[in-house]
Amino acid sequence: MQTDSSFTFVLFGGTGDLSMRKILPALYEAHRAGGMLADSGKIVAVARHIADRAAYIDWVNEHVKPHVSKNGVDETAWASFLDRIEFVKIDLGNPEDFTLLRDALSGRPGIRVFYLATGPSLFVPICRALASVGLNENSRIVLEKPLGYDLKSSNAINDAVGEIFAEEQIYRIDHYLGKEPVQNLLALRFGNVLFEPLWRREWVESIQITIAEELGVEARGDFYDNTGALRDMVQNHLLQLLSIVAMEPPHSMDSDSVRDEKLRVLRALKPIDPRDIGKVAVRGQYHAGVIRGSAVPAYATEPGVKQDSNTETFVAVKVEIENWRWAGVPFFLRTGKRLADRVAEIVVNFRAVPHSALGASALRGGANRLVIRLQPNETIRLYCLAKQPGEGMNLASVHLDLAFDRFFREGQMEAYQRLLLDVINGRLALFVRRDEQEAAWRWVEPILNEWATANKPPKPYAAGTWGPAAASAMLAQHGTCWLEEEN
């Protein structure tokens, strides 16, 4: 993934948590690898409470360095990376300050990338200020989630940004789409004839997609209490992963071919009748509990959270896709905070054999399973039945493991690193198009509205567990269970 493309990467929110933990570490890794970033490429950080470049470099050394390179920092590469960084002090609330940015970028070759690592309320003012000083030409704009609070607010942001930047200039980022196993899911499905005949309702019994976190809301209580798990995770990450799993083969891997197929999945999602939401959607909120031996507080006592908050920290929802490939196959999506483990995975449960001459154990559907683990360790495992050594025909579940480190010498690329390189090089396939986003909001809105009007408290669950019992009961109605319950 080498490039000779010159660029200027402008980072709004240059002192924020996302910039420190993800964006700047990803850019450093690309720099350290050599050849991925043009030598002339520069990073321009924008913030208002740092005095000058020297103070910003001190800030980066203190806050970014701990998050780079699991095997330690290459001090030579780090020093040359810092040479790429420049700084412009701007008050984002003062459009006149953007003339300082315009002057700093004047005469620079190549493409300009504006990364908005800020709250969504600042997206439109920043874009308008950029346009007012002529910086919306020859540029790309990266928008972080959440993009709006509902369909109406999302459309308002997209309309305003779309007046300033063309759709092909807008990169709506979802970092789960940049993860290596998601890319390998595409390779497995569309590069091998083995899976395609099985990837349909005749052979798939159910699919689970889980994004579980051990952490609570941390210092984001104010933000999270006005957002909740449905907006924060389901509307974007989980529905994007669903569309990747369920999409038809695109005619090529160019950006619009891939996104056209994802859009068809999102538009084929079976609408949820408000009267059925209690049957197909579970919302929960964590109470005090214990995680890895340490006591953790209830959500309602977290800083920034209202004591009587009804905001959900857990969601499980059953999804159906109304098309010929997936009709009748339930997709179970689940996400939550303060759960028993940090894990993100896609579980494809294939149907059991229709008849077995090998005994009842060969009829277990759970043995025929594909598990795509996205975090913490990125793997793909295909589970099947094999005979145990010894007398008799006794079967046991075994797995074939796609171990990346055994087959490929190169280290795996982190999701943000891949996506930032795609922005710099103008590749849109792994970014969310506006019509995809609208389709996702449109499907989620009936759940949001019903929960808001019903005004019922979320179901409680103890921190350190896998969420409310109702989430397990929902799967039990379909004769299945979550993966960790079976194990």
- Annotated ligand binding at 339? The verdict is no
10 confidence band (pLDDT: 50, 70, 90): very high
Pairing mode, strands 204-212 and 331-336 = parallel
Which is more confidently placed, 386 or 107? Answer: 107
Give me the pLDDT at residue 440, please: 97
Q: What is the pLDDT of residues 451-462, one digit of tens each?
A: 999 888 999 999
Give me the pLDDT at residue 288, please: 96
Which is more confidently placed, 388 or 419? Answer: 419
Read off the pLDDT of each residue in 137-162 and give the average, rounded to a whole number.
Answer: 93
Q: Can you tell me the distance from the alpha carbon of 183 to that of 429, in angstroms, rounded to the nearest whole number?
A: 11
Give me the pLDDT at residue 184, please: 83
Compute CA 215 distance to the chain's CA centroid, rounded to the nearest angstrom: 16
Burial 40-74 (b: 16+ CB within 10 A, else e): ebbbbbbbeebeeeeebbebbeebbeeebeeeeee
- Annotated ligand binding at 91? The verdict is yes
Examine the pLDDT at 355 and tell me if it is beyond 80.
no
Read off the pLDDT of each residue in 397-415 and give the average, rounded to a whole number.
Answer: 75
Which is more confidently placed, 93 or 410? Answer: 93
Q: What is the pLDDT of residues 110-128, one digit of tens each?
A: 999 999 999 888 999 999 9
- Annotated ligand binding at 276? The verdict is no
Exposed, middle or buried by CB within 10 Å (0-12, 13-18, 19+), for 386?
A: exposed
Give me the pLDDT at residue 360, please: 64
Examine the pLDDT at 2 and tell me if it is beyond 50.
no
Examine the pLDDT at 5 and tell me if it is beyond 90.
no
403 confidence band (pLDDT: 50, 70, 90): low
In order of their start, the domains of the chain are: 7-144 (3.40.50.720), 177-413+433-486 (3.30.360.10)
- Annotated ligand binding at 22? The verdict is no
Examine the pLDDT at 392 and tell me if it is beyond 80.
no
Give me the pLDDT at residue 140, please: 97
Q: What is the pLDDT of residues 183-200, one digit of tens each?
A: 888 888 888 888 888 999
Mean pLDDT value across the chain = 91
Catalytic residues: 237
Q: Which of 411-415, 423-427, 455-459 has the lowest mean pLDDT?
A: 411-415
Could you give the C-alpha distances from 99 to 4, 10, 84, 112, 147, in angstroms and in order?
29, 14, 22, 16, 27
- Annotated ligand binding at 48? The verdict is yes
Read off the pLDDT of each residue in 336-351 and give the average, rounded to a whole number.
Answer: 95
- Does residue 452 contact residue 228 with C-beta atoms inside 8 Å? no
User: pLDDT > 90: what percent of the chain?
Assistant: 72
- Annotated ligand binding at 122? The verdict is no
Read off the pLDDT of each residue in 379-403 and give the average, rounded to a whole number.
Answer: 80
Q: What is the pLDDT of residues 213-222, one digit of tens each?
A: 999 998 788 8
Give me the pLDDT at residue 484, please: 92
Residues 6+ apart with CB under 8 A from 118: 12, 13, 16, 92, 126, 144
Examine the pLDDT at 171 and tell me if it is beyond 60.
yes
Q: What is the pLDDT of residues 73-92, one digit of tens each?
A: 889 999 999 999 999 999 99
Q: What is the pLDDT of residues 283-335, one digit of tens each?
A: 999 999 999 999 999 999 999 999 999 999 999 999 999 999 999 999 999 99
Examine the pLDDT at 363 and tell me if it is beyond 70.
no
- Annotated ligand binding at 318? The verdict is no
Read off the pLDDT of each residue in 469-485 and give the average, rounded to a whole number.
Answer: 94
Within 10 Å of residue 147's Cβ, how many Cβ atoms? Answer: 22
Highest mean pLDDT among 7-16, 32-41, 365-374: 7-16
1 confidence band (pLDDT: 50, 70, 90): very low
Rg (CA), the chain: 24
